Structure 1
């Protein structure tokens, strides 16, 4: 009896020293935050529920509140008994599934009013609650692209207002940047120009899943080989024309002199 009593006390002491070993329930949202959702598409949030052998899920609740505000009001999206495989949300476009080790929230026809901080709360059979949160925002189009220049350092910096997940691309005279022109920073926002002279049109294009926009910085005009060739051809043509006109005038003058000499000789013979 003494041995059994001692073992019971040891087990009780272990349970007290390890309150989260066999008794505490946990919940974790799997989506990386912030989550950005394209308007009109579906928001899907998945959460994993961890529970010990002595724990049982009683209620799963999904809620949302504004991301900013002095006293944000929390709205309940769905409340589900733990044993239910599926439960209805508070709106027709809200669907929630509850499984043995997880729960999924789906909102169809997502709009800007659905943005905010989402919370999933799991309540066990003793009434203890644990909560996980995730920030959800609307996917924004690209807006207001601009290019600023630092001529002294041969830098061009591309900026964009508030688009989601912007991708930057650089072009020189409508051709993608090569090593002969310069190099682009890892994030794509900065172009280090190495070509000399610093000339031509530099265009930054910013795009994402919804839209794209661009801005161009115009430096001094570049003197290209084609322009030099064209100028040489024009000069040659003008030179040939001038030479032709000069030759024609000389020939005409020489012919006029010959005719005068012949007329003078003819008069002498007649006399």
Structure 2
């Protein structure tokens, strides 16, 4: 009994001393973290990969790594993988001595909070968490308008990482039409508020759009028609002038021939 207690006592003393040294010198003996703390979005059917950064002091080593999953739908927490133990779920694999978790064929039930807990040989434990969500397609795009301020607002229901593109009469909006907000959701019209304004929202899974129809751009149509009519009138006048010049030239040549013919006939 005494022989079993001595190794445990030595390990306890060693752990206490190590923690005291870390506290005294402000050294992080063991640390684990994710380089990106933002939520990870995964497309359904693709692979979920979580990679933790584990840092140890020289001479230390990882004794155990545990991955826990708190489901988003049910809130139930379960251990899905351990290192160095084997994993029962065929979809789950661990790499780099437990630092990297890979789940094949991501499903909606895999969403939630993932916690990785690392234990070193002295029993010291550190944990880190990251939220995983399903990457969703764009749905239900709509456009609202503030006529008094000439502002159009584009809204989308739940798509992941949406990007916004504005069109006016099926052409990408230019500075002549207006300027777009930094997030792309709003269009501030600086030109004539007329015609069709379309907001296209897209992400990795596709796109959807909505159109706001203002009054028809009559002034633009009229000016275009006037220009066309004016050009046709100018072209008609030019053609008429050319025809008249050619007619007069031909008439003069005919008169000359008549004059030359008359003296010749008298000599006969």
- Same fold, TM exceeding 0.5? yes
Unmatched tracts of structure 1, length 5 or more: 1-11, 82-86, 237-271
Contact preservation (8 Å) 2:73, 2:109: no
For 1:87-98, list aligned pairs within 5 A: 88-98=86-96
Please give the alpha-carbon distance, in whole angstroms, between the structure 2 residues aligned to 1:206 and 1:227.
33
Contact preservation (8 Å) 2:71, 2:109: no
Q: Give the CA RMSD over aligned residues.
A: 2.7
Unmatched tracts of structure 2, length 5 or more: 1-15, 233-268
Please give the alpha-carbon distance, in whole angstroms, between the structure 1 residues aligned to 2:221 and 2:199.
26
Q: Evaluate the alpha carbon distance shift between residue 23 and residue 56 of structure 1 in structure 2; reply closer, same or farther with a 3 A threshold.
A: farther
TM-score (norm 2): 0.72
Deviations 1:34-65 (A, max 9, x none): 00001110111111111113532110111110
Contact preservation (8 Å) 1:143, 1:160: yes
Q: Evaluate the alpha carbon distance shift between residue 45 and residue 228 of structure 1 in structure 2; reply closer, same or farther with a 3 A threshold.
A: same
Deviations 1:136-161 (A, max 9, x none): 00000001101000011000000001
Deviations 1:179-200 (A, max 9, x none): 111000111000000013x111
1:204 aligned to 2:199? yes
TM-score (norm 1): 0.71
Please give the alpha-carbon distance, in whole angstroms, between the structure 2 residues aligned to 1:15 and 1:110.
39
Contact preservation (8 Å) 1:26, 1:130: yes
Q: 2:51 aligns with which of 41, 46, 49?
A: 46
* Secondary structure of the structure 1 residue equivalent to 2:20: helix
Aligned partner of 1:75 in structure 2 is 78
* Secondary structure of the structure 2 residue equivalent to 1:59: strand
1:221 aligned to 2:219? no
Aligned partner of 1:37 in structure 2 is 42
Aligned partner of 1:252 in structure 2 is none
Please give the alpha-carbon distance, in whole angstroms, between the structure 2 residues aligned to 1:39 and 1:170.
29
1:25 aligned to 2:30? yes
1:16 aligned to 2:20? yes
Contact preservation (8 Å) 1:31, 1:45: no
Deviations 1:221-262 (A, max 9, x none): 0025555555896xx9xxxxxxxxxxxxxxxxxxxxxxxxxx
1:124 aligned to 2:120? yes
In the TM superposition, what is the alpha-carbon distance from 1:89 to its structure 2 partner?
2.8
Q: 1:103 aligns with which of 84, 95, 99?
A: 99
Aligned partner of 2:136 in structure 1 is 140
In the TM superposition, what is the alpha-carbon distance from 1:130 to its structure 2 partner?
0.9
Aligned partner of 1:178 in structure 2 is 174
Q: Evaluate the alpha carbon distance shift between residue 61 and residue 177 of structure 1 in structure 2; reply closer, same or farther with a 3 A threshold.
A: same
Q: Evaluate the alpha carbon distance shift between residue 66 and residue 202 of structure 1 in structure 2; reply closer, same or farther with a 3 A threshold.
A: same
Number of residue equivalences: 214
* Secondary structure of the structure 1 residue equivalent to 2:52: strand
Contact preservation (8 Å) 1:67, 1:135: no
Q: Evaluate the alpha carbon distance shift between residue 222 and residue 14 of structure 1 in structure 2; reply closer, same or farther with a 3 A threshold.
A: same
